[in-house]
Amino acid sequence: MGGSTRVLTLGERPDNELYQLALQVAMEPLVWPLLNKQGIELIVRRDDRIDAELCGNKFYKLFFNIQAAKNAGYTRVASFGGAYSNHLHALAAAGYRYGLSTVGLIRGEQSAHLSPTLEDARRWGMTLCFLPRALYRQQGSTGLETYVRERYGDVCLIPEGGANPEGCRGATVIGRAIEVQLEGAYQQVCMPCGTGTTLAGVAAGLPADKIAVGVSVLKGAGNLGLGIERAYCAVASSDTHGASWRLVSGYHGGGYGKKLPSNLRNFWREFELETGLQLDPVYTLKMFYAIAGLAQGRYWPRGTRLVVIHTGGLQGRRGFEAQIDW
Ligand SMILES: *Cc1c(COP(=O)(O)O)cnc(C)c1O
């Protein structure tokens, strides 16, 4: 598959390995007049570039999950996601690279053509298993677990999106790295949220004088906050305290994976033309749209130095790009 120069041998490396990689991630000033004219400085953390295939926050969320699976002696891991899932894409790449067989449990019936995401996954050897929506919704139930084990044997099941303590622990490394790379000279860190695992981890890894802001891309993120607080408490260590976190909603643009409304499509094109920074349609696009909206409402005072995490997902542009008149 090529492309990647950093090849880890998971299962043998200490925590520190992920931290060392995180310290090398570029922190780039973003020239974006809309924000800059308000005296807000943006620094984009390029986690979309941390790895060629295992990109973005999924790299961090899978790191300790793969390590734990290997340490427990599993040879096969399975997880859940939709047909465009960044998580399944990254899991397939990780399995291929680290010698674990992978099973993708996919939401909904198989359509006539595989998505580009699933094409890649299959190329990396992932077994694709399409679950009817009613069955897919039973995630976490013993019934579905039995169903999976009957078909695929003794698999290590990772929750959708890598939303577990191992995933959250991986994300804490992002927070720790940011603080060291910028020597504390910033006030807030912004990122998009699906399950909120990344937000919880990043906040827990940042020091107490900082604020982590998550933009929810989900419509009706009902008890998302409760899940974030639980995940945060599970990984926050008493000696570092951790930052406080906030969740911003109302910028889901119709909901997860839905056809983009015209305001978002226009923003997407204009933002990329103006800044040269590529976004994914599901997460980072909505985050930057939210940042524009929040700035217009004077959410951040003049002089704020804001770190924005580019959480990746660019593989998901395929199939969406047709919606945009570039
Ligand atoms: C999965 C994903 C997220 C959401 O991460 P959570 O930890 O589930 O909140 C954000 N951005 C991108 C690009 C993703 O792929």
Give pLDDT tens digits for 291-307: 999 999 999 999 999 99
Rounded Cα distance between 255 and 232, Å, is 25
Residue 129's pLDDT is: 97
Closest residue to atom 12 of ligand 1, CA basis = 311
Report which ligand 1 atom has the smallest distance to the Cα of 171. 7
For residue 11, give the nearest of 59, 72, 53 by alpha carbon. 72
pLDDT at 4 over 60: no
CB 84 within 8 A of CB 316: yes
Local structure of residue 194 (DSSP, 8 states):
S
Rounded Cα distance between 302 and 253, Å, is 28
Backbone torsion region of residue 34, taken as left when φ is above 0, otherwise alpha when ψ lies between -120 and 50, otherwise beta: alpha
- The pocket around ligand 1, CB under 6 angstroms, is made up of 56-58, 86-87, 161, 163, 192-199, 280, 283-284, 311-313
CB 324 within 8 A of CB 204: no
Distance 194 CA to ligand 1 centre (A): 5
**Bridge partner list, 193:** 216
Distance 47 CA to ligand 1 centre (A): 11
CB atoms within 10 A of CB 175: 24
Computed over every residue of the chain, the mean pLDDT equals 91
Amino acid identity of 254? G
Rounded Cα distance between 157 and 175, Å, is 27
Least confident of 141-150, 235-244, 262-271: 235-244
Which of 283, 288, 310, 315 to probe ligand 1 with, by most ligand atoms within 8 A of CB?
283
Average pLDDT over residues 98-105: 96
Rounded Cα distance between 320 and 2, Å, is 25
Helix (H) or strand (E) holding 299: none
Amino acid identity of 1? M
Give residue 209's pLDDT band: very low, low, confident or very high (50, 70, 90). very high
Distance 150 CA to ligand 1 centre (A): 30
Average pLDDT over residues 71-100: 96
CA atoms lying within 13 Å on the CB side of residue 8: 25
- For the chain, what percent of residues have pLDDT higher than 90? 84
Report which ligand 1 atom has the smallest distance to the Cα of 283. 11
Which of 62, 64, 173, 198 to probe ligand 1 with, by most ligand atoms within 8 A of CB?
198
Give pLDDT tens digits for 139-170: 989 999 999 999 999 999 999 999 999 999 99
Which of 169, 193, 288 to probe ligand 1 with, by most ligand atoms within 8 A of CB?
193
pLDDT at 130 over 90: yes
Rounded Cα distance between 74 and 145, Å, is 16
CB atoms within 10 A of CB 86: 26
Average pLDDT over residues 92-101: 95
Distance 155 CA to ligand 1 centre (A): 24
- For the chain, what percent of residues have pLDDT higher than 70? 91
In the block, residue with structure tokens 């998550």 = 214
Give pLDDT tens digits for 30-77: 999 999 999 999 999 999 999 999 999 999 999 999 999 999 999 999
Report which ligand 1 atom has the smallest distance to the Cα of 167. 7
For residue 218, give the nearest of 246, 254, 190, 191 by alpha carbon. 254
Coil/strand/helix, residue 78: strand
Local structure of residue 136 (DSSP, 8 states):
H
Backbone angles phi, psi at 99, to 5 degrees: 70, 40
Quickly list DSSP for 138-166.
TTTSHHHHHHHHHHH-SPEEEPGGG-SHH
CB 157 within 8 A of CB 145: yes
